[in-house]
Structure 1
Amino acid sequence: MAIADNLQALERRIAAAARRAGREPSAVRLVAVSKTQPAAVVAEAARAGQRLFGENYVQEFTAKAGAVGEPVEWHFIGHLQSNKVKYLAGLVTMIHSVDRLSLAEEIDRQWGRLGTACDILIQVNVAGEATKSGTSAAALLELVRAVAALPHLRVRGLMTMPPFFDDPEGARPYFRELQRLAEVVAAAAIPGVTMAELSMGMSGDFEAAIEEGATLVRIGTAVFGARG
């Protein structure tokens, strides 16, 4: 199938999942995960109407961003080392994977040089998996308070990656828990912090994520096909 067809099919599935949860389809945005995809493929997706793309690797992204001429918006969704933040400054509009104060401080420093602010999501390791990045649920509020004090960052919500399950229902409790944690953070009424975004759900489980409150679903394979 062509990318345009894949995008239309996804749009229908996203809308249906939102309606099942009593939500407006417009409340959910598709982040097309374009890691390992060449600039020409991103451009094809952009011409088919996709505007928001998520990248995982700094070096690959910076090379690609300069080669895509279409008007697109980039989010960084992968694990991020502090010494690589400078390469993202001014190129991405949101970073989904902030999981520690030292990283937040470097983002603040680099965006401060531009005189602007970066929207970020706090990554939470809901399942407590040793192989996954993310702050713990127990440490979340303390981290949000510390990050919120940085002048060039805006905390806009949370992100998680649940364990992999063949059945998407297996991931549902983790999505539900992220929604609950967002409510805890919102109730704390920390100045400058909003819980407007929940980044969760991928090609295999995004419908369950939407039903549990996702506003950003990170989908690669169902857009671009399986990676070779």
Structure 2
Amino acid sequence: MSSTLASVSSARSAEVQQQLAEIKSRVQQITTGRDREPTLVAVSKYKPIADIQACYDAGHRHFGENYVQELVEKAEHLPKDIHWHFIGILQSNKAKLVTSVPNLDTVQTVSSQKLATALNKNWAEDRQSLLNVLIQVNTSEEDSKSGLSSDDAELADLARFIVKSCPRLYLRGLMTIGSLSESLSGDENRDFELLKKTRDKLQATLKEQEIDGWGEDGKLVLSMGMSSDFEAALRAGSDIVRVGTGIFGERVKKAT
């Protein structure tokens, strides 16, 4: 590598690490005093391996990808103690490929029994831990977004199905993307409040039916909040935030 390229690479790594540190500082300011520290997932969609490695070198371990093939390729070349989160639309026929990632931690976008069944089938029995899953809820009811309706009986049915019929999966919580208008409103985010209410209702249902083996300490975690609204999400009680642009900068979509 030429000295010019090396300096560019070094400058880029320093930039990413500085932005990561700033995001982590903002997270800490909001959540100091919580019983459980929230998880910051660095969303590395379309970003090069070097950017992810820079975050890793700064001590970060949780990363999120939206596309199966991109996740598989990056995971192959990056350290094996990274915790990968899949946060994109996942078709059941891609379950075998995504579960082939040895350090896959969580699939955050489960919204059907068909997908849960496929993930459970392909998660090898000899894996040291269960595969964490979150049920995606379409809180904004937008046709462009995936997920179950917050008031749909199918949501409780899916939660029961995962807990009782998918022994290799662990139902850890709920996830939403939310609408852009709510994200930019500056007021109380109705998507976040709705996900909290949905979580509380689902927890009550599972407890009433004496269904055990889900959540953390009897509570389903919430994954909500991205670069533009993660602080509002944390103030609303989010346990997981997914930040991409705030850490890595604007994305340049790959040519198709």
Q: TM-score, normalized by length of structure 2?
A: 0.82
Name the structure 1 match of 2:74. Answer: 64
3-state SS of the aligned residue for 1:93? strand
Q: Which of residues 203, 214, 224 in structure 2 aligns to 1:193?
A: 214
Equivalence for 2:244: 220
Matched with 1:172 is 189
| Alpha-carbon displacement from aligned partner over 1:98-126 (angstroms, at most 9, x marks no partner) | 01110000001011454552110000011
Aligned counterpart in structure 1 of residue 158 of structure 2, from 131, 143, 148: 143
Match of 1:111 among 120, 123, 129: 123
Which of the two has higher C-alpha Rg?
Answer: 2
Check whether the contact 2:214–2:220 (CA below 8 A) recurs between aligned residues: no
Offset, 1:73:
1.2
Quote the Cα distance in structure 1 between the aligned partners of 2:103 and 2:92: 16
2:150 corresponds to 1:132: no
Q: 1:142 to 1:170 in 2, by over 3 A?
A: farther
Contact 1:3 1:48 in 2 (8 A): no
Deviations 1:32-66 (A, max 9, x none): 00111111211111001211000110011111111
Q: CA deviation at 1:17?
A: 2.2
What is the 5 A alignment of 1:43-58? 43-58=53-68
1:66-102 residue CA offsets vs partner (Å, 9 max, x unmatched)? 1113631111111101111111223411110001110
Q: Is the 8 A contact 1:168 1:208 kept in 2?
A: no
Alignment-mate amino acid for residue 79 of structure 1: I
Work out the CA distance in 2 between the residues paired with 1:70 and 1:79: 24
Q: Which moved more, 1:156-165 or 1:112-121?
A: 112-121
Instruction: Output the CA distance in 2 between the equivalents of 1:172 and 1:73.
Output: 29
After TM superposition, give the deviation of residue 16 of structure 1 in Å: 2.0
Does 165-174 or 127-136 show the bigger shift?
A: 165-174
The within-5 A match list for 1:12-27 is 12-19=25-32, 23-24=33-34, 27=37
The RMSD of aligned alpha carbons is 1.8
Shift of 1:10: 0.7
Shift of 1:196: 3.8
Residue 75 of structure 1 aligns with an amino acid whose one-letter code is H
Uncovered stretches (5+) of structure 1, i.e. residues with no partner? none
Distance in 1, matches of 2:116 and 2:187, equals 31
Tell me, yes or no, if the aligned pair for 2:225 and 2:234 is still in contact at 8 Å. Answer: yes
Partner of 1:41: 51
User: What's the secondary structure of 2:20's corresponding residue?
Assistant: helix
Cα gap change, 1:26 to 1:223, in 2 (>3 Å): farther
Aligned pair count reads 225
The answer to whether the Cα contact below 8 Å between 1:199 and 1:217 also exists between their aligned partners in 2 is yes
Separation (CA, whole Å) in 1 of partners of 2:35 and 2:163:
30
- Larger displacement relative to structure 2 (108-117 or 173-182): 108-117
Identify if the C-alpha distance between structure 1 residues 114 and 147 changes in structure 2 by more than 3 Å, giving closer, same or farther.
same
Report what 2:10 is aligned to. Answer: none
Percent sequence identity over aligned pairs: 36
1:171 & 1:70 partners in 2: Cα distance? 39
SS in 2 for 1:214: coil
Partner of 1:81: 91
1:160 paired residue number:
176
